[in-house]
Structure formats: structure tokens, C-alpha cells
Amino acid sequence: MSNTRDNLLVIPLNNKVLLPSVLLRLELSGRQAEYLVDEYSSSQQHDAEANKSTTLPIVACIPYKPTANNNNDDKQSWMDVPHHVLCGYGCTGRITRIVQQQDDPASTQKESAICYDVYVEGLARFKALSYEQDTDGLRVRVSHVSNRSEREAREAMAIFSSTTVPSFLQRLETLQVPLAQQLQEHVSTLPVPVLADMLVSIVDTTFEERLAMLMTEPVKDRIYLAQKWLTREIQSLLTDTTTSTTQDNTLSKRQRASYLRQQLEAMRREIGPLGSGDTNYANDVDDLTLLKQRLTNAHMPEDAANVAIREFKRLQNMSTSSAEWSVLHNYLELLADLPWNTQSNNVLIDIAVAKKQLEDDHFGLDHVKKRIVEYLSVAKIKGDLKAPILCFVGPPGVGKTSLGKSIATALSRKFHRIALGGVRDEADMRGHRRAYVSAMPGLIIQGIRRCGANNPVMLLDEIDKLSRSASHGDPAAALLEVLDPEQNNTFHDHYLNLPYDLSSILFIATANSLHTIPKPLLDRMEVIQLHGYTFEEKLHIARTHLLPKQIQRHGLAANEIDMADDVILWIAEQYTRESGVRTLERTLASVIRAKCVELADLRENDLGYQYAPSVTQEDVLDILGVPPFDKDMAGRQAIPGVVTGLAYSGSGNGGILFVESSKMPGSGDLQLTGSLGEVIKESAHIALTWVKANAYDLKIATTTHEKILANYDIHIHMPQGAVSKDGPSAGVTMVCSLVSLLTDSAVKSTTAMTGEISLRGLVLPVGGIKEKVISAHRAGIRKIILPERNRKDVVADVPINVKNDIEFVYAKTIWDVIENALDQFANKSLKPMESHL
């Protein structure tokens, strides 16, 4: 016996034996792992601060007795292990590395403790003298076993090193295994007792045999045991080589090397590298062992599991230097990573919580929230409802993408966004076949792999921006299978080459327009329109979301910015004209930055007490400059031929516009100005035709056959000529403008109208009623004439405070419009008994 050592922490080994100069990998978790991690980290930090080489923690690794029948693995707790189940011998070990295991996304159960790979390098044998239990675990006092050799031992070591070991190496070299060179290096540098321990840990020995090697104290007896088992291994290799040669004389060198490598890996599956310098080989073995475990834990369907087993066997037989090895390894990594049966929400759906989440994240959008709540309610009742395929369509900045994130949060699911803008290759969606260099799975499978769950909320952003290439296929066609609930349970990715179930995924597509989406693809989605925000909605969003967010982002306190509602609304009206709130947020950020500069300057001069947190319109003018837009205001004076109409811009904002008509001597021509589109020009021609046809009933002509405008030209103009205008909703406004001009009667400046007309004089419904009415109310309009079929839009969408301030008139024909717009025709029955068209 040699020197003793006290107070070593015990790590029990189950069916494993640590021998000197051998590196052993253990999987530990729980309190024992946390303690070792703390000790390991503390030693590294302390030595780094002291500018010394790292002093790694030393532990005592003691195997369980074979009779203890312990079925636990390394991860089980050993903090309270009774010492009587441990054998009396062990090996001191130095912890050389601790690596946290990656979470396995394919596992359906979440372990409570983090698992670590702990690498322990064997140092010296010992015999346990006494044990002591403390809060950190079992500790032991040990007496090291000496490696000093007597004369008989030296003779045995000479025979072992000069005969047995060279014979073993020669057999390895015959099979041309790279491992032989590594062993040769150790033979020339290591003492014979240490070499014997290392070779015993490599060759095919049982747990009992390795335990006997550990518990044998005399060096001579250890050499005899190592020689016995090494000779047995040489005979096994000789027999296997002879059999392989008989079966296939054409076996290549690479195949023979792979064959022995597989055999040695099987022998050393639970053993670490040969020594501290053999890290590459050890990493390969550990990687394959971990990969196999992950594939087993992935719980794949039967067809996928069969493919994984077949491909893994191929990988084991390959050389790591082969180009196909990395391709096959990446493929198996994908199979192991995919969440075949893992879902991200195993909690009961709470409808109230989901509603609150949607309300907190977005203002308005009630119809979208209603649809999501409907889905949640049915899913809660039925349990296995197929996810809908939703498509949010609306102008930029109205919250389509952020709404998808809120839905994922409300559902307690993972969220993944796929940007489809500019995607033009079908392989981007379906993946590339593995035969191609640098092949990879498609965007769908990549997203699922990243989420680690088979039921995420997947946002297909800008689906209307997909491109089509004659040489790369049509990515929109590839999405047909993805977005079909009846087909996507067997989605086939070219790289995966296996059916994968997408039916649990909630797909949400976003688009700015439906015109560029192929009809078959559009047919598979449930389209939900998102309109632009009104100025009142923007005010609410700015007050509750944007302004607090920007104040916090710029490091100010809530009381250091005071911006009244009228100032925010004024900024929204005169500095932004968009459907969403992105420009409004950037504008508010500019104002807050200016206030930050003001506050910083005052504080530098010790004048911080003079800072005024209030922001006025004058302050905004100084900061942002002249407003690029003017607020819409109703005309102050009623003029014949000038009528106020209602407009709805493509950005989602409403507004008022003016239609001005004038006549002059001429030949009956119609002139249109004001950047008018084709549809609005057609409305002007329809309006003029209707007025001519009904001139007698309007008291413009004295007879039914009189050509009232044969000697006059008509000019219709819509101001703000730099702004393009189009659409049919100005039809009734143009009719009233012409009638007002030709009868020399004015429409009140506080009256506005909108609606499409037909040649028969019918008033047809138009869109954007909510935005139009709110903007008209803000401009001072107090009477609005609308199509009868738009009554439901006013009832459902217009705020109650606006409805209380406005008189609504609903018209079925243009005669209803004229009677309510022109005082000259009020309370008069103008409707003719027959049409003159």
C-alpha cells in the first residue's frame, strides 16, 4: 500500500469500471450533477483569477457490487447510496470536462433535471478504508494501490510488452485500422501496468473481468489477466479475419477497416477514449452513441423507424472520411430532431385567457378575434379538431404578422414565421433530394425542426409575393399540399423522403392583395380581411401601446413625456397617411428623441428642473417641420355645382373629396380632370347620361326631347390633382354635382354622400363605410347620404358617438339622393312614372 487520501466524493458506477489512464463518460443529473458542475466551474474560475493552470476536481469512482443488482443508470441519484452496496476498490478520477446535454425535441416527456455528460479520467487504484455521509453525498477515505513491480512482475511485463502487445498490434495493422497507430504511440510512452489497464478497457471484456482487474493489487497478477484477455482477443480477430476472407475475398481495405472499427466501437460503447490525447476517435464514438439514443427516443412512426435503423447501420459501416458519411449523418440528425409526436401545449385550453391575450395585444380586429375564439371553443369541446388554414389580407402595417404571434401565445404554442417574399424555387418548400450537394430540407420541415413541436403556429408571410420560375418550378403549387387539410397529413419533403403529418399545424398566411394568389391556392384558405385603422383607432393604439413602448425604449420615465390626445391625433392626421401604425410609431419616436436631447442638455448644465415634459403642437412643428398632409375640412360656403363626396384610400384611411362641375359654351363634350382612373371616368359618363335622360323630370328641360347640353361643354374636376382617384363610389356625388350646376341650386357644405349608380338610377352599395363616416364626422359633416344596402355597415361598424352626431339618409335610387341633398327638390315627388332610358 501507498499513501492515503481523505474526503473524496464517491461516484458509484453501475456496470462500469474506471481504470487508470482511461477516460469514462458518465451521464449525471440532479443534485450530484449540480454539485460537480459548481465544483468544476469554481476551480476554473479560481485558477483563472490566480493565473494558474486549472486544478480539476478529484472524485472517487467505485463500482457497485455485482450482487447489489442495481438497475439504475448514471442519471439516478447517488447522494444517499449506502456504502455496503459498493465494492471495496475503486479508482480516483479527475473531472476533465462537463457538457450539458442538448434537449431532445423528440421526447414527449419533459425531465425535471438537466442532464450532463461528465468526463472522468482515471488516475490511480485505491482500496476504500472508511466512509462518511455529508450533505454533498458519500465521501471516502482511500489508500492507493502501488504500481511498484517485483522481479517476477518485471519478467511478466517484459513478456507482455514484447510478445502479446506486438501481436495484437500486428493483427490490427493487418486489417489496416488507424487505431493501431494510436495504440503504438501509447505502447512507446506508457508504463506497462498502465498500458495493461488501458488495453483491458478496450478489448471485449465483461463487467466482472474489468472489476477483477480493478481489484487485483499485485502488478504481476494484473499483467497475467491482461495477457489472458488480450490473447483471447487476438484469437477472435484472427478467426473473424479468416471468416471474412472466406466469405468475400474482394473485401476492400476500407471495408475491413470499417468492420474492425465497428467491432471496437461495440466493445468500447461505454468506455471513453484511449487516453487524454485520443479525442477525435472518442468524439466519433460518443456522437454515434448519442445519435442512436436520440433516434430511439424520437418515437417515430414504423416506416420512419425502419428507415432510421437501416441508415444508422449504414453510417456505422462507413468511414468518417467518406463524403457520404456527413450527408447520412445530417439526415439521421434530422430524423432525430423532428418532433414526430411532440406537441407544445399539453395544457387545457382556457378561452378566457386566450380572449384576454388577443385583446391585450391588438385593438379592434373583432372579427379576427371572433374566428380564433370559435376555433378554440370547438377544439376544447372536440379535442382533435383539424387546424384551419387562415389567410389575413390587408394593407401593410395593420398587424397581420403580430396577430399570428398573439394567436400562438393565446394557444400556448410555438411560433415560426416563413418569409415567402421572392421565393421562386419549389425546392425551397419541398426540400432538395439528398443526391444533390448541399441538399437540405424545405422551409416547412426546417421550421418544424426549429420549433421542436408538431403543432406550432406557422406564419406564411407575404404569400402573395411568391415568384414563379420556368426552370425552378412553382412554389405556390408546392403549397397546395401543405395548405390542404385533407392531404397535409402525408406531406412529402424531398429531403426527408418520408411522409410527415402537418395536420396539427395552424397555418396562417398573410397577403396584401388576393389578385396575385393562384385560385387553387386561395380556395384552400379561409380569407379574413383586415382593414386599415381609423384615426381614432390609431389614437387608441398610440396611447396604449406605441407611446409607452417608445418612452421605455428611449430610457425615459412615464412622467417625462406628456402628450395630449389631440396632439397624437394631429400627428396621425397631418404627418401620416397609412393603413397601419408603423409611420406613426416612427414619428412618435422622432418626437421623443428630440425631448431626450432637450433633457440631456439641461441636465449637463444642472438645469434639469427646467425640463417640461409636455409636448404641444408647436413643439411637434419645431421637431418634425411642416406637415406633409392637410386635415380634411368641409367647405365653408355652399356653391352650385360643388358637392362633397366620401373617399376611401388604399391605405385604409377615409376622407372627403369635392366634385366640382362647370359648363361653358361648346358642342356637348365632357372633360374630366383630377388624376381620375378608368372606373371613376365611367361613373362620370353614367352620371351625365342619366341627367340628360331625366332632364325633363328634373325641370332642366322644357320638353322630353330637348337636348339640354347640345351647345355646352361640361367640365368635372376633382381637386388634389396629384392624388390618383378611382372607384365607383363617386357616382351619386357626380349626379348631384351636375343637377346642382344645371338647376343653379347648392348642396349644403355639411352634407356628404357616397354610392355607385346605374343607368336606371339605382344606388348601389360601396365599401369602406366605417372609414368614410368617421373621417366625414371629423371633417365637420353632419348629414351623410348612403346606399340603402349599406345600412347594415353603419349599424355594425360605426361607433355610437359618431352615429349620434350624424343624420344618415339611406337611398335606393338617385331620386332619393336628390330630394335629400338639394333643398329645391325637398318634399317633392320627382320619381317619374316611366324611364326615359
Q: What tens digit of pLDDT does each residue of 8-29 get? A: 888 999 889 999 888 888 888 7
Task: Tell me: is residue 398 an annotated ligand-binding position.
Answer: yes
Banded pLDDT at 634 (limits 50, 70, 90): low
- From the number of C-beta atoms within 10 Å of its C-beta (0-12, 13-18, 19+), residue 350 rates as middle
Of 83-92, 317-326, 683-692, 739-748, the poorest mean pLDDT is in 317-326
C-alpha–C-alpha distance, residues 723 and 382, integer Å: 52
pLDDT-wise least confident of 101-110, 356-365, 386-395, 773-782: 101-110
Q: What is the pLDDT of residue 3?
A: 67
Tell me the CB-side half-sphere exposure of residue 588, using CA atoms within 13 A: 31
With bands split at pLDDT 50, 70 and 90, how would you rate the model's confidence at 818? very high
Under the banding of pLDDT at 50, 70 and 90, the label for residue 790 is: very high
* 142 annotated to a ligand binding site: no
> Are 670 and 660 spatial neighbours (Cβ–Cβ below 8 Å)?
no
Please name the residues in contact with 746: beta carbons below 8 A apart, sequence gap of 6 or more.
Answer: 638, 639, 640, 642, 740, 822
Q: Cβ(585)–Cβ(572) under 8 Å?
A: no
Average pLDDT over residues 639-651: 84
Is 70 exceeded by the pLDDT of residue 257? no
Which residue in 16, 414, 538, 772 is the catalytic one?
772
DSSP string, 29-76: EHHHHHHHHHHHHHHHHHHHHTT------EEEEEEBPGGG-----TTS
Predicted confidence (pLDDT) per residue in 354-364, tens digit: 888 888 888 87
149 is catalytic: no
Average pLDDT score, the chain: 81
Dist CA 427 CA 443 (whole Å): 9
- Is the pLDDT reported for residue 266 higher than 80? no
Residue 249 has pLDDT above 50, yes or no: no
Mean pLDDT across the stretch 110-139? 82
From residue 451, alpha-carbon distances to 291, 358, 386, 390 in Å are 19, 22, 19, 20
CA pseudo-torsion sign 206, 209, 214, 219:
negative
Q: What is the pLDDT of residue 280?
A: 47
- Find the catalytic residue in 729, 740, 745, 749: 729
What cell does 459 get?
Answer: 406564419
Q: How far is it, in rounded angstroms, from Cα 276 to Cα 24?
A: 11
List alpha helices for 694-813, DSSP H. Answer: 731-743, 769-778, 791-797, 800-805
Lowest-pLDDT range, 98-107, 118-127, 365-374?
Answer: 98-107
Model confidence at 214, pLDDT cuts 50, 70, 90, reads very high
pLDDT at 186 over 80: no
Please report, for residues 266, 668, 690, the alpha-carbon distance to residue 836 in angstroms, rounded to integers and kept in the order given. Answer: 99, 20, 9
Query: Is 674 marked as binding a ligand?
Result: no
Domains and CATH numbers, the chain: 4-144 (2.30.130.40), 151-271 (no CATH), 281-337 (no CATH), 351-529 (3.40.50.300), 535-624 (1.10.8.60), 642-825 (3.30.230.10)
Active-site residue, 729 included: yes
396 assigned ligand-binding residue: yes
Q: In this predicted model, what pLDDT tens digit does every residue of 276-287 receive, in sequence order?
A: 444 444 455 457
Higher pLDDT, 273 or 62: 62
Q: Has residue 188 got a pLDDT over 70?
A: no
Per the structure block, which three cell numbers stand in for 559? 412622467
| Exposure letters 276-307 (e unless 16+ CB within 10 A, then b) | eebeebbeebbebebbbebbeebebeeebbeb
Look up the pTM and report it: 0.58
Write the pLDDT tens digit of every residue in 48-58: 565 555 577 88
Name the residue with cell 358637392.
643
User: Annotation-wise, does 401 bind a ligand?
Assistant: yes
Contact 359, 403 (CB under 8 A): no
Q: Is 399 annotated as a binding residue?
A: yes
Q: Say whether 16 counts as a known binding-site residue.
A: no
* Per-residue DSSP letter, 517: S
Establish whether 395 is an annotated binding residue.
yes
